[in-house]
């Protein structure tokens, strides 16, 4: 008999005439409350178990999962299901009588009608202390038959063995060493906006008391003078004569705490007093007030001029540019932490990051004096599986992305100058896929070499791998050492910038240069090169010094997949222009969050072909007929080798018009190429 809404489950007793009326979908608490109420064992601990009517084994009821199994057994069978109750009396005195166990056997029968249960045996729920509901013990041997003791008739099924909880940290890479992963609460910074001062209130030290007074005076627009400032006492009063506002605090020996003993918080002076140059409004006080405002509006970019204007209107005091800038720096420290604190807590951050985000690869490098030198941060390695729907970027790159890595660096803008190096790829929707970051003191050959060594540990040796970077010797040498089999392409945009800087700006030069870069076929490139050399011979002489394989599609030995510039890495620099002002931990958190958000959005919109690829293929399909019938620009398609003589398919990874027409003739779907 199945349990459904409106049908009650009736348990008729086999011994002692105990009966229970259970509601549909009863849970563990309801079951134990009803049993305790009917058996009148409110002050005792009980244990429940039931016997499977088909397999014959007995199963303890310990949690909601067991109750769910009991409901399934009741709904799947019409036969008798035995329910065992074991009562443990509370030990008031340590005697044999107090330790005696009173067993009960209850027979379980399912009925459609509530009338089967006598009226005097229908029970209601009683409130029982929750702490006693789950203190169970095993059923004694007396409650089981000989067959049950010998395990006769047992069979292996889904009820025999419990499923063990999966270990989400299985096969996780080593966690960075961390001497003290627990972060203690930081020092006192400020009173909250609704906090007030009162008699018997204590402060950790005298400086904290003075700061609280300064914050209160700035907010309430008054100034005070110090009457006594000693080691064991502190007394202040309003600077306006004949005003009754007073405060007296005394130290609590032998600690450094100060307690307010006397406090008159009523001002008898005029409330119209104006203090344009408030002597208590230092950078900590204004920074604390600004921190409270910034915490509510984090999306706003706070500039010193705007801060000065807002604080002037809020506090009615004059705040110049320098004071506003200092207040902002202190507010940012309260909001994000100082640079020194973040560097000191970096091992703790990496420790917890790897523990809760399996697949993240992190390294910290120190100098000879054990001071911070640089750190490496990569979203997932090739040996880690996906946990909690967390998309591992490097694993995605190795399995699904085009083998092009674009790298660039940018300067940090915080109090401590440095450089951040980026390595990004492009996914199937032509969107940026961040792979790894490195924060170091400066950009040099050693820093790039170390960065690529760690990147190689993550991605391994990929076939037909291509790097696109700026024209820097340090990067070239690092790629040759770290990825000797990879092709190194140069950013065409930077080459054009060097041409403009050296020979001047010319629109015709720019047009011909990009035609050279984007030409897929060598005969087209040679034709453009001849025209270019005839008009701007000095430019072609400069370009001849750079191997054509590094900046053109036609002569590239590997597939650039249409990426001839490092603009993708430049986009990461533009995206992090404000984040690069923050300390190291908030900066790394910024990159981690954008990866998670982007992965979540893209996973929802994933298809066989991405939106960008569908648009490109549709455009090629529209022009397919004209291209195939144009003998001058025709092509020969080889579906087995995935090549076309027009070189578009090889260069971009997407089918050209010739491929689309061949697939239509063969009655194949275009997306079959990627299946």
Does the pLDDT value for residue 279 go beyond 90?
A: no
- The model's pLDDT over 165-187, given as tens digits with 9 standing for 90+, comes to 333 333 334 444 554 444 443 33
Mean pLDDT (the chain, rounded): 72
pTM exceeding the 0.75 threshold for the entire prediction: no
More confident residue, 345 or 150: 345
**Model pLDDT, residue 88:** 62
Lowest-pLDDT range, 249-258, 353-362, 666-675?
666-675
CA 223 to chain centre: 46
592 — pLDDT class (breaks 50, 70, 90): confident
Average pLDDT over residues 450-479: 87
- The model's pLDDT over 552-578, given as tens digits with 9 standing for 90+, comes to 988 888 877 678 888 888 888 888 888
- Rounded distance between C-alpha atoms, residue 46 and residue 40, angstroms: 11
Contacts of 164 (CB under 8 A, 6+ apart): none
**Model pLDDT, residue 152:** 40
**Model pLDDT, residue 398:** 73
666 — pLDDT class (breaks 50, 70, 90): low
Q: Which residue has the tokens 């900046």?
A: 551
Element (H, E) at 408: strand 404-411
- Rounded distance between C-alpha atoms, residue 21 and residue 118, angstroms: 10
- The model's pLDDT over 291-308, given as tens digits with 9 standing for 90+, comes to 888 877 766 777 888 888
Output the CA torsion 93→94→95→99 (10° steps): 100
Backbone angles phi, psi at 202, to 5 degrees: -115, 155
Average pLDDT over residues 531-558: 90
80 — pLDDT class (breaks 50, 70, 90): low
**Model pLDDT, residue 90:** 46
Rg (CA), the chain: 38
**37, 133 contact by CB (below 8 A):** no
Does the pLDDT value for residue 250 go beyond 90?
A: yes
**By percentage, how much of the chain surpasses pLDDT 90?**
15
**Model pLDDT, residue 44:** 66
**Model pLDDT, residue 224:** 93
Average pLDDT over residues 342-356: 84
Burial 256-284 (b: 16+ CB within 10 A, else e): ebbebeeeeeeeeeeeeeebeebebbbbb
More confident residue, 380 or 96: 380
Does the pLDDT value for residue 7 go beyond 60?
A: no
More confident residue, 34 or 96: 34
Contacts of 532 (CB under 8 A, 6+ apart): 512, 513, 516, 539, 540
**What DSSP assignment string belongs to 32-82?**
HHHHHHHHT-TTSEEEEEEE-TTT--EEEE-SHHHHHHHHHHHHH--S-EE
């Amino acid at each position: 008999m199945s349990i459904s809404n409106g049908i009650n489950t009736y348990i008729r007793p086999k011994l002692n005439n105990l009966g229970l009326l259970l509601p549909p979908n009863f849970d563990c608490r309801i079951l134990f409350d009803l049993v305790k109420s009917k058996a009148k064992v409110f002050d005792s601990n009980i244990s429940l178990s039931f016997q499977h009517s088909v397999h014959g084994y007995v199963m303890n009821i310990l949690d909601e999962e067991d109750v769910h199994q009991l409901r399934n057994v009741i709904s799947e069978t019409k036969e008798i299901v035995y329910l065992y109750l074991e009562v443990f009396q509370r030990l008031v005195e340590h005697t044999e009588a107090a330790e005696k166990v009173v067993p009960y056997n209850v027979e379980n029968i399912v009925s459609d009608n509530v009338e089967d249960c006598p009226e005097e045996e229908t029970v209601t729920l009683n409130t029982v202390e929750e702490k006693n509901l789950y203190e169970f013990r095993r059923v004694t041997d007396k409650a089981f038959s000989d067959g049950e003791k010998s395990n006769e008739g047992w069979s292996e099924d889904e009820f025999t063995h419990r499923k063990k909880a999966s270990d989400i940290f299985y096969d996780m890479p080593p966690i960075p060493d961390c001497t003290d992963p627990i972060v203690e609460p930081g020092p006192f910074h400020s009173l909250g906006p609704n906090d007030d001062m009162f008699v018997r209130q204590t402060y950790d030290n005298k400086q904290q008391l003075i700061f609280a007074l300064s914050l209160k005076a700035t907010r309430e627009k008054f100034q005070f003078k110090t009457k006594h400032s000693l080691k064991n006492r502190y007394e202040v009063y309003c600077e306006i004569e004949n005003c009754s506002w007073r405060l007296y605090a005394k130290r609590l020996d032998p600690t450094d705490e100060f307690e307010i003993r006397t406090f008159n918080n009523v001002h008898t002076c005029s409330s119209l007093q104006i203090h344009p140059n408030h002597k208590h409004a230092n950078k900590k006080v204004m920074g604390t007030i600004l921190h409270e405002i910034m915490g509510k509006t984090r999306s706003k970019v706070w500039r010193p001029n705007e801060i000065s204007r807002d604080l002037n209107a809020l506090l009615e005091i004059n705040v110049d540019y320098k004071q506003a800038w200092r207040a902002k720096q202190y507010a940012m420290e309260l909001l994000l932490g100082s640079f020194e604190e973040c560097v000191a807590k970096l091992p703790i951050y990496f420790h917890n990051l790897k523990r809760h985000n399996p697949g993240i690869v992190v390294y910290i490098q120190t100098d000879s004096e054990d001071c911070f030198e640089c750190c490496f941060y990569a979203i997932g390695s090739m040996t880690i599986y996906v946990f909690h729907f967390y998309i591992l970027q490097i694993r995605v790159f190795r399995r699904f992305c085009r083998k092009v890595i674009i790298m660039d660096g940018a300067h940090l803008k915080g109090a401590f100058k440095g450089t951040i190096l980026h390595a990004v790829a492009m996914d199937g929707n032509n969107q940026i896929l961040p792979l790894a970051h490195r924060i170091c003191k400066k950009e040099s050959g050693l820093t790039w070499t170390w960065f690529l060594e760690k990147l190689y540990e993550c991605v391994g040796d990929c076939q037909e791998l291509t790097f696109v970077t700026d024209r820097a010797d340090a990067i070239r040498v690092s790629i040759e050492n770290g990825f000797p089999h990879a092709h190194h392409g140069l950013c065409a945009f930077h080459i054009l910038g060097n041409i403009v800087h050296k020979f001047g700006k010319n629109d015709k030069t720019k047009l011909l240069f990009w035609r050279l870069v984007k030409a897929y076929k060598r005969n087209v490139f040679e034709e453009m090169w001849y025209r270019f050399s005839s008009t701007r011979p000095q430019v072609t002489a400069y370009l001849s010094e750079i191997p054509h394989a590094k900046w053109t599609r036609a002569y590239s030995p590997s597939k650039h997949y249409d990426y001839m510039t490092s603009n993708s890495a430049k986009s990461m620099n533009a995206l992090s222009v404000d984040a690069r002002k923050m300390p190291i931990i908030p900066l790394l958190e910024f990159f981690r969050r954008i990866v998670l958000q982007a992965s979540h959005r893209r996973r929802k919109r994933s298809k066989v072909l991405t939106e960008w690829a569908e648009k490109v293929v549709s455009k090629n399909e529209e022009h397919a007929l004209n291209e195939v019938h144009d003998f001058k620009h025709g092509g020969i398609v080889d579906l087995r080798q995935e090549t076309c003589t027009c070189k578009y398919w090889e260069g971009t990874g997407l089918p050209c018009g010739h491929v689309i027409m061949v697939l239509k003739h063969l009655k194949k779907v275009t997306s079959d190429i990627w299946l």
